[in-house]
A and B are shown apart, each in its own frame.
Chain A
Amino acid sequence: MAFNIYDLTSFTRSIDQALYDWLPPVWALIVEMTIIGLTFLLFYALVGLILVYAERKVCAFMQNRVGPNRVGPYGIFQTIADFVKLLMKELVYIRNSDKLLFNIAPFIVIIASFMAIAAIPFAKGLHAIDFDIGILYVIAVSSLGVVGVLLAGWSSNNKYSLIGAMRSGAQIVSYELSVGLSLLTVIVLAGTMQFSQIVEAQSGGWFIFKGHIPAFIAFVIFLIASTAETNRGPFDLAEAESELTAGFHTEYSGIKFAFFFLAEYMNMFIVASIGATVFLGGWMPFHVPGWEGFNHVMDFIPPLLWYGAKTVFVIFLMMWFKWTFPRLRIDQLLTLEWKYLLPINLVNILIMSFIVLMGWHF
């Protein structure tokens, strides 16, 4: 079993081959699916814990505070302690809620983010499924999460939850457009929707550089719209603490609340890695056409590290937004989308198509 850190295709291929040699095809498929599912579950728990800790530290530094610093060195075990506390909390039983919907809502939210992560390429040859319509799949699946949010708000039988859920619905329906259109700008440039080919196409320069100004505008719009889509600040009207206590998850406690919480952070991670993959080249190292020596040095850094660094960068940008900008009002939110982002986006696609048609990109 050859383990090559720069190209994991042979590694995953050899596991696949070994399983099919050893087991009947049906069982091999089930075992493979189980392995991938467990890996992602573990990854979820790990990334969730790290992201919550990182968010609290980043927030603290931006507000001239220290942040968690009591549990373990620099407070690194704080989120684990919080998680254990959440697990031991009582699951409060709401008598007048719609019980079935109330119980399945957190699962819908988390399953939606779970499905989206399957299409993300982490390194060369390291992705669960490489659809030829990868971007379309991710856009479709990530918008399923709002169903869970709406169900949670509706079934709680609580006015704050319902208002929060409706706001969330209005917000996601509007901003989904901008996310789709900004990704469409890149699809025009790349000529494909398959994630692996999009990454390959960036070997001669990341799309944000390749596509000049339209790609940069698309990246900024993608950042804004995807921040709104993940219900994070400054677009966190769905759970505006000062108005709606906690919005759609007001009535949830214990592990069900933890699911919503985890899904929020994982959605941020997924959105950041899509942004990193599509605009910043994913696991592709930084290449400048013509500089052979430089490109060679860059190739020496493993793709997994490139992918991680870019994702962390985008996540940091989103945290930076959250802890700098004040929350928008609902009318400002919709004005921003329908009067500014959408027209700019449409013109942007036009310019990008023109550039691609004339071959002005490099």
Chain B
Amino acid sequence: MNSFFKYFTDIFRGVRSLLVGMTVTGKYFFSPRAIVTQQYPENRKQLVMFERFKGEVIMPHDESNQHRCTGCGICETNCPNGSIEVTSDRIDQPDGKKKRIIDRHIYHLSMCTFCSLCIKTCPSNALAWGQQFEHAVFDRARLTKVLNKPGSSIIKGIE
């Protein structure tokens, strides 16, 4: 008798769970607003990437064209695949000491694996992730970028 009872409860439970599943998909089917797909090329204008998105390595500059990079080269030594080359200059300071400043911060996007080690290890937070992700170019040379803008200088007080 018990197994007889179980047979029917099994059927009803099964049918009920199937109906629950069908309500979920049915609800999605009849609510077009639930669509989550982004229509990419059409929505380029209003497309906002999320905060932690890793598009490319950039060096933020403020409005007076100043950045925070001291040219120490820690990012270069930490990069696992040699995507970063830092060349620095030495300039004379008024008190007679020499100071190292950055000449060019070269970034090879074509070699970058987006591991974020350069950004994490930078002692003065000079690097950051940019949101730009459309990197297709016709010439490989254009994937090599100089991150510090021409004529830029370091923000005072950053060592």
Contacts and interface: CB of A to CB of B under 8 A. Distances in A.
Contact of A324 (B21, B34, B36, B39): B21
A323 B35 contact: no
Interface in B25-46: 25-26, 28-29, 32, 34-37, 39
A154 B9 CA distance: 41
A336 to B, nearest CB: 9
Contacts of B18: 324-325
A75 to B, nearest CB: 12
Given A66-B37, A66-B39, A340-B11, A61 B32 contact: yes
B117 interface: no
A323 B28 CA distance: 12
Interface residues of A, number: 15
B37 A64 contact: yes
Contacts of B37: 64-66
Contact of B26 (A320, A325, A344): A320
B111 interface: no
Interface string A37-72: 000000000000000000000100111111001000
Contacts of B34: 64
Determine the main DSSP class of B at the interface with A.
helix
A65 B35 contact: yes
Nearest to A65: B37
B29 A61 contact: yes
B105 to A, nearest CB: 41
A69 B39 CA distance: 10
A74 B113 CA distance: 37
A69 B32 CA distance: 14
Nearest to A63: B28
Contacts of B35: 61, 64-66
Contact of B28 (A62, A321, A325): A62
A62 B25 contact: yes
B22 interface: yes
A120 B22 CA distance: 30
A325 B36 CA distance: 21
Given A320-B22, A324-B21, A325-B21, A62 B29 contact: yes
Contacts of B21: 324-325
Which one of B24, B25, B32 has the highest number of Cβ atoms from chain A below 10 Å of its Cβ? B25
Contacts of A62: 25-26, 28-29
Nearest to A234: B18
Contacts of A61: 28-29, 32, 35
Interface string B70-97: 0000000000000000000000000000
A155 to B, nearest CB: 37
A213 to B, nearest CB: 14
B22 A324 contact: yes
Contacts of A324: 18, 21-22, 24-25
Given A64-B35, A325-B21, 20 more contacts: A58-B29, A61-B28, A61-B32, A61-B35, A62-B25, A64-B28, A64-B34, A64-B36, A64-B37, A65-B37, A66-B37, A69-B39, A320-B22, A320-B25, A320-B29, A321-B22, A323-B25, A324-B21, A324-B24, A325-B18
